Amino acid sequence: MFTTAPSNSNKDTLKTTLCFSITDKVGALENCLAAIKAMDISLTRIESRPSRTNEWDYDFFVDFDAKSASQVNQVITSLGKHTKEVRVIGADATAADSVPWFPRKLTDLDSFAEKVLEMGEELSSDHPGANDPVYRARRAEITRIAKTHRTGQPVPEIEYTAEENETWGKVFRQLTSMYSTHACREHQYVLPLLIQNCGYNDKQIPQIEHVSRFLKDCTGFTIRPVMGLLSSRDFLNAFAFRVFYSTQYIRHSSKPYYTPEPDVCHELLGHAPLFADPDFADFSQEIGLASLGASDEDIQKLATIFWFTVEFGICRQGGELKAYGAGLLSSFGELEYCLSDKPEHRPFDPEKTAVQKYPITEFQPVYFVAESFKDAQEKVRDFAANMNRPFSVRYNALTQSIEVLDNKEKIVRFAKSIRDDMKTLTNVLESLG
């Protein structure tokens, strides 16, 4: 759940991550920490790992909030007196050559818990529930629950009211009656599995925790609750870890077939089924990986690509157009419209898609058609390779962390892992042949 406006970090401080390496000798770490403290900076996190090089014994990662880019440079200079290996892993962008901070491990996503921009507990004046004190109180209760969630905890279950379950049932029945003719084959395949394993039916709203466990078994994707709209940067960064942020509240019962925002119907009927498909999961993560450390300009482009694919994407299957975007699969009005001859259908091309203007309060006049999820993934990967980012990243599924491929040792280690996978593939092909 995200907004497509460019992300802006706290303008008073620069959230920065530095990496420095030391040898195992008395006072080495103390000297480095003292150098940071002398700059009048307080660390928000410090993490150590055994160094993978022969020259150093330990690598340290530290997070802190700097007052300016010049202060970051002062810290680097000061640390340089005690160690020659000091690197900026991430920093909020305030200059052309700086790299915005980005999460490097799964628990870093906990920092997004309260960074919502709008909606959630606060409703706009044109929201159907804006003048309903009971609905507003209910929304506030659910968003407070989302606020407390942290990595590793089960998603809190919500005891939905009879009115909320009834609203879900109306939406569920209307949409599922259209999926057999309008939804892509992957969505049609997964939905019955969600009915069988996660309690999808028209009687009650499924619990996100049950759906998250199912997705994790299928593709490694998990769902986290969120209070409201996240920035594009935060929302897309989470996809790099195969994490999807979902609301748990539902639209107002007075208008069950309309919502001005993503709600649990949009999340569980539109988004969740496709995250169980391996190709779609890979494609979604590719956008997330491209967003790590990207400039505000590139984030805006990636958010637009996300809008025209994961939210409002169409694909070609068996010579016919089918919907796979969650915004389409959770809106029966636009689901019917998008496949008609009324809008324009263009081939998916990230370079052109990224700069396409679009409305957010009416049906889309233009949709982009993907030939397959794998084809779309390759195109996004090529697009990301030409972005203005001074490094590449990969997701380490074993440690659920992001590796920045910015030195020889990391690249060699990555190459070795690819070589091992190729050996396995060769053995399998030989055994089959």
The b-or-e profile of 131-146 (16+ CB within 10 A means b, else e) is ebeebbebbeebbebb
195/54: higher pLDDT: 195
- Higher pLDDT: 228 or 115? It is 228
Residue 106 included in any domain: no
Rounded distance between C-alpha atoms, residue 231 and residue 102, angstroms: 13
Residue closest to 170 by CA, chosen among 88, 52, 265? 265
Residue 8 lies in a domain: no
> Do residue 49 and residue 191 come from a single domain?
no
Tokens of 200: 């999808």
Last residue within a domain, chosen from 98, 126, 149? 98
* Dist CA 265 CA 273 (whole Å): 12
pLDDT confidence bin for 121, thresholds 50/70/90: low
Q: Look at residue 9 in the predicted model and tell me its pLDDT.
A: 40
What is the pTM assigned to this prediction?
0.79
What is residue 52's predicted lDDT score, i.e. its pLDDT? 55
Question: How far is it, in rounded angstroms, from Cα 427 to Cα 419?
Answer: 12
210: annotated binding-site residue?
Answer: no
Instruction: Give Cα 406 distance to the centre of its chain.
Output: 23
Instruction: Report residue 410: phi and psi, to 5°.
Output: -70, -40
List the one residue out of 15, 11, 224, 6 whose CA is nearest residue 109: 224
Please, which residues bridge with residue 144 across strands?
Answer: none
Give dist(CA 310, CA 290) in Å, integer. Answer: 15
Q: Check: CB of residue 212 under 8 Å from CB of residue 155.
A: yes
pLDDT at residue 60 greater than cutoff 60: yes
Q: What is the pLDDT averaged over residues 351-375?
A: 95
Kindly state whether residues 161 and 26 are assigned to the same domain. no
Q: Based on the fold, state whether residues 253 and 116 are members of the same structural domain.
A: yes
Query: pLDDT for 273-327, tens place per residue?
Result: 999 999 999 999 999 999 999 988 999 999 999 999 999 999 999 999 999 999 9
5 against 432, higher pLDDT: 432
Which positions are catalytic? 266, 271, 311, 330
State the average pLDDT over residues 375-393.
92
Residue 107 lies in a domain: no
Q: Which of 65-74, 264-273, 388-397 is least confident?
A: 65-74
Residues 296 and 327 in one domain: yes
- The answer to whether residue 408 is domain-embedded is yes
Residue 334 in marked binding region: no
In degrees and rounded to multiples of 5, residue 101 shows phi and psi of -60, 145
Residues 159 and 263 reside in one and the same domain: yes
- How far is Cα 307 from Cα 322, in angstroms, rounded to an integer? 16
Phi, psi for 93 (deg, rounded to 5) = -80, 120
Q: What is the mean pLDDT of residues 219-234?
A: 93
**Alpha helices for 124-267 (secondary structure H):** 133-147, 162-182, 185-197, 208-219, 232-239, 264-265
> Is residue 4 one of the residues assigned to a domain?
no
Residue 54 pLDDT: 62
| Residues 399, 287 share a domain | no
pLDDT of residue 19: 81
For residues 310 and 169, the answer to whether their CB atoms sit within 8 Å is no
Q: Is the pLDDT of residue 341 over 70?
A: yes
- Give the single-character DSSP code of 183: B
- Tell me, what CATH number does 299's domain have? 1.10.800.10
Whether 417 shows a pLDDT value over 70: the answer reads yes
Lowest average pLDDT, out of 112-116, 190-194, 290-294, 352-356, goes to: 112-116
Contact 44, 65 (CB under 8 A): yes
127 & 211 share domain: yes
What local confidence, expressed as pLDDT, does residue 61 receive?
77
Q: How confident is the model at residue 7 (pLDDT cuts 50, 70, 90)?
A: very low
pLDDT > 60? residue 219: yes
Q: For residue 249, which of 116, 365, 344 has the smallest C-alpha distance? A: 116
DSSP tally for the chain: helices H, then strands E: 15, 14
Dihedral Cα 41, 9, 268, 180, nearest 10 deg? -140
| pLDDT the model gives residue 96 | 35
DSSP assignment string, 319-372:
TEEEE--HHHHT-HHHHHHHTSSSSEEEE--HHHHTT----SSS--SEEEEES-
Q: What is the mean pLDDT of residues 254-273?
A: 94
Clarify whether residues 301 and 406 are in a common domain. Answer: no
Please determine, for residue 55, whether its predicted confidence score (pLDDT) is greater than 70: no
The candidate with the shortest Cα–Cα distance to 401, out of 156, 127, 105, 165, is: 105
| Same domain flag for 358 and 400 | no
Please tell me whether residues 400 and 378 are part of one structural domain: no
Q: How confident is the model at residue 343 (pLDDT cuts 50, 70, 90)?
A: very high
- Whether pLDDT at 333 is above 50: yes
How many domains does the chain fold into?
3
Rg (CA), the chain: 23
Asked if pLDDT for residue 51 goes beyond 60, the answer is yes
User: Residue 59: which CATH number?
Assistant: 3.30.70.260
> Percentage of residues in the chain with pLDDT exceeding 90?
61
Identify which of 71, 66, 72, 62 has the alpha carbon closest to the alpha carbon of residue 22: 62
Q: Is residue 1 part of a domain?
A: no
Q: Evaluate whether residue 350 is within a structural domain.
A: yes
Handedness of CA 44, 50, 51, 52 (dihedral sign): negative
Reported confidence tier of residue 433, pLDDT bands at 50, 70, 90: confident
The residue type found at 117 is L
Mean pLDDT of the region 342-361: 96
Pair (123, 94) in one structural domain: no
- Give residue 198's domain range: 112-382
Mean pLDDT over residues 10-32, rounded? 76
Average pLDDT (419-430) is: 90
Residue 267 lies in a domain: yes
DSSP character at residue 231: P
Same-domain check for residues 147 and 250: yes
Per-residue DSSP letter, 59: E
Lowest mean pLDDT among 8-22, 118-132, 216-230, 359-373: 8-22
Band of the pLDDT at 66, cuts 50, 70, 90? confident
Q: How many CB atoms lie within 10 A of CB 325?
A: 28
